[in-house]
Structure 1
Amino acid sequence: MDDLSRPTRPSVSTLTEPLVENLIARAPQLRLAVTRSAAGARIVDAGITARGGIEAGRLIAEICLGGLGAVDIVPAARFKRWGTLIGVRTADPVTACLASQYAGWSLAEGEFFALGSGPGRALHAKEELFGELGYRDQASSAVLVLEVDRFPPEVLVERIAAGCGVAPDRLTLILTPTMSLAGTVQVVARVLEVALHKAHALHFPLERIVDGLASAPLPPPAPDFITAMGRTNDASLYGGDVHLFVEGPEEEAAALAAGLPSSTSRDYGRAFGEIFTAYNGDFYAMDPMLFSPARVTVTALSTGRSFTHGAFDEAVIDRSFA
């Protein structure tokens, strides 16, 4: 993918640094708690002991996108009961979604486990995906977002800093429990990312994806992790809408549109929580092709024709959210 490895590609960590500083500066108003680890890393609590909120989640989602995208919260009439959408847009969807936002860095220490997302992944760049993207970032500061409900152990914090190649006091970790308002927003804001990830799984040439827009309904938060995980996934699976603009032959754009929606999965049709229970909580036994938006439009830039597949399922959304 020569186009993806061109030297002019942006530094997601550098672009994100002012966004992180803005989040820290507004912490009291956003109901966030900011502390320092023993080694000096900044820990931003966005929903564990601090309350956090929807606006905090929106800003954290933009941090996850590496400073290359915008996240909006807007009213919409897509569903009768759930009238708020989270909108995502980026002019560099492959870098923003796959090199930054995707939760691909596995972090474990004792009983603690989390998947790291955000710009710090591109500094570490040990995932196989980065070899395919031909991208590795360089910066003097790092930020990772962890979807967890407890604080990471000190030894892991120091290992993350070392993996990013920065001093511990130049590392920021943002903690967003799925059950929290901020966590709910930042997970649903991955609706474009799930489409990019499935396009990659379908072996569509990523360098042909030029632009992207997406939206999904904002679910209410839940009192437990399983319900929260179900609602945030269902927002994309049954309520997500994605529009990709791609280069290349028109017939390949049409094939991508046909293959992307969640309805192509064998597990489609039940709420995520129901599917998870049916597999006895074995996440990896589920069909990986399920993780995709409900409806997808792909526009072939060579001809201007657009192809739409999939549909929203309001009944499943109602059952999940309510």
Structure 2
Amino acid sequence: MSHSSGLSVNAGVLSLVEDMRLRAAELRISVSQGPAGETLIDAGSTVPGSIEAGRLMTEICLGGLGTVDIGSSPYLTRWPFTLTVRSSNPVIACLGSQYAGWQLTSGEGENAYFSMGSGPARALAGREDLFRDIAYADKSEQATIVLEAASPPPEDLVRRIANDCDIAPENLTIVFAPTQSLAGSVQIVGRVVEVALHKAHELKFDLSRIVEGMGTAPLAPPHPDFITAMGRTNDAVIYGGRIMLHVTGPADEAKALAEKLPSSNSNDYGRPFADVFRQYEGDFYKIDPMLFSPAEVEVVSLESGETYRGGAVDPKLVDASFG
């Protein structure tokens, strides 16, 4: 595995982590030291957090290789405010960093801790097959991991994460926020491009040919109920997300990608995500993985200059989900 790109996602987020630390009061977050000496940034568990904290959290997830903007769009009349993600290194930003692919577990029974790790630390640990597929690894003395969780990991797990990243625990930063929080809802909607790249990978498209990625999705209103909150953040992408990818290589393959990528190709498409989740009795792995994709896709073929399109935003389903 080569670190051929010369890009370090862990070095790339140090200024963003520092920004969160310096602006903690303004962002309504808390920064503390954990039992192993790690830095803990609570962005929405015991603190209110903020949309801005979620925006920074999303840029951290992207390894400093993407920009995240809050703006507005006339596309969904009832939900005008949107989150827009852009990256000129979309494969490393989204799959090499942002993708929540590192399973973190500790303990058993009532005391069990489980979370999926996302963010730059994954590229130091390299525990997932995905890193072989994208031929990326990182080298850094500092690591940052982002967790969609209501509490930080226990000390034994923190030490294991640091060990897997080959760093000292005091050089590890853990940013966490639950799905139900302001920041949590933002960082999940901020995966609008990442889910498209992950699906392109599943469809066996050559990822090295995706040279630009941008996407936008409506900001989902948080909800105190976990399943409702999770449903809304997923629906923001599945029924309200729009992406554009610029690709090299044969135009017919760009056209095929645009046709296959949208969420509407999934058998589970057509109902709010919370309903789908309940139908499968909360078993994520029974849900058709092809559902996790943006509603509307544009693929620009740099070879032909043509833009190929697939799917469409579904305002009714966004309304049904967001309330």
Match of 1:295 in 2: 296
Aligned residues: CA RMSD? 1.0
Q: Using the TM superposition, give the Cα deviation of residue 149 of structure 1 relative to its aligned residue in structure 2, in angstroms.
A: 1.0
CA distance in structure 1 between the partners assigned to 2:150 and 2:20 by the alignment: 20
What are the ranges of 5 or more consecutive residues in structure 1 without an aligned counterpart?
none
Partner SS, residue 5 of structure 2: coil
Match of 1:81 in 2: 78
C-alpha contact (below 8 Å) 2:3/2:137 kept by paired residues = no
From 9, 30, 35, the equivalent of 1:38 is: 35
CA distance in structure 2 between the partners assigned to 1:263 and 1:8 by the alignment: 34
CA distance in structure 2 between the partners assigned to 1:216 and 1:8 by the alignment: 29
C-alpha contact (below 8 Å) 1:5/1:133 kept by paired residues = no
Q: Using the TM superposition, give the Cα deviation of residue 18 of structure 1 relative to its aligned residue in structure 2, in angstroms.
A: 1.3
CA distance in structure 1 between the partners assigned to 2:238 and 2:6 by the alignment: 31
TM-score, normalization by structure 2: 0.97
Partner SS, residue 179 of structure 1: coil
Match of 2:67 in 1: 70
Match of 1:90 in 2: 87
Residue type matched to 1:233 in 2?
N
Q: Using the TM superposition, give the Cα deviation of residue 135 of structure 1 relative to its aligned residue in structure 2, in angstroms.
A: 1.1
Count of matched residue pairs = 319
CA distance in structure 1 between the partners assigned to 2:2 and 2:204 by the alignment: 18
CA distance in structure 1 between the partners assigned to 2:76 and 2:2 by the alignment: 41
Q: Using the TM superposition, give the Cα deviation of residue 6 of structure 1 relative to its aligned residue in structure 2, in angstroms.
A: 6.5
State the identity %. Answer: 54
Match of 1:144 in 2: 145
Residues 44-193 of structure 1: pairs in structure 2 closer than 5 A: 44-110=41-107, 111-193=112-194
What are the ranges of 5 or more consecutive residues in structure 2 without an aligned counterpart?
none
Q: Using the TM superposition, give the Cα deviation of residue 5 of structure 1 relative to its aligned residue in structure 2, in angstroms.
A: 4.8
Q: Using the TM superposition, give the Cα deviation of residue 80 of structure 1 relative to its aligned residue in structure 2, in angstroms.
A: 1.6
C-alpha contact (below 8 Å) 1:260/1:296 kept by paired residues = yes
C-alpha contact (below 8 Å) 2:83/2:217 kept by paired residues = yes
Match of 1:211 in 2: 212
Match of 1:277 in 2: 278
Match of 1:200 in 2: 201
C-alpha contact (below 8 Å) 2:152/2:174 kept by paired residues = no
Residue type matched to 1:302 in 2?
E
1:4-52 residue CA offsets vs partner (Å, 9 max, x unmatched):
9562330111111111111111111101111111121011111110110
CA distance in structure 2 between the partners assigned to 1:45 and 1:19 by the alignment: 15
Q: Structure 1 residues 38, 5: CA separation in 2 closer, same or farther (over 3 Å shift)? A: closer
CA distance in structure 2 between the partners assigned to 1:232 and 1:194 by the alignment: 13
Match of 2:16 in 1: 19
Match of 2:308 in 1: 307
CA distance in structure 1 between the partners assigned to 2:183 and 2:103 by the alignment: 21
C-alpha contact (below 8 Å) 2:117/2:146 kept by paired residues = yes
1:230-272 residue CA offsets vs partner (Å, 9 max, x unmatched):
0000000000000000001100000000000000000000110
Partner SS, residue 196 of structure 1: helix
Moved more, 6-15 or 175-184: 6-15
1:89-133 residue CA offsets vs partner (Å, 9 max, x unmatched):
000000000000000010000211000000000000110000111
CA distance in structure 2 between the partners assigned to 1:150 and 1:64 by the alignment: 18
CA distance in structure 2 between the partners assigned to 1:90 and 1:125 by the alignment: 22
TM-score, normalization by structure 1: 0.97
CA distance in structure 2 between the partners assigned to 1:94 and 1:151 by the alignment: 28
Match of 2:265 in 1: 264
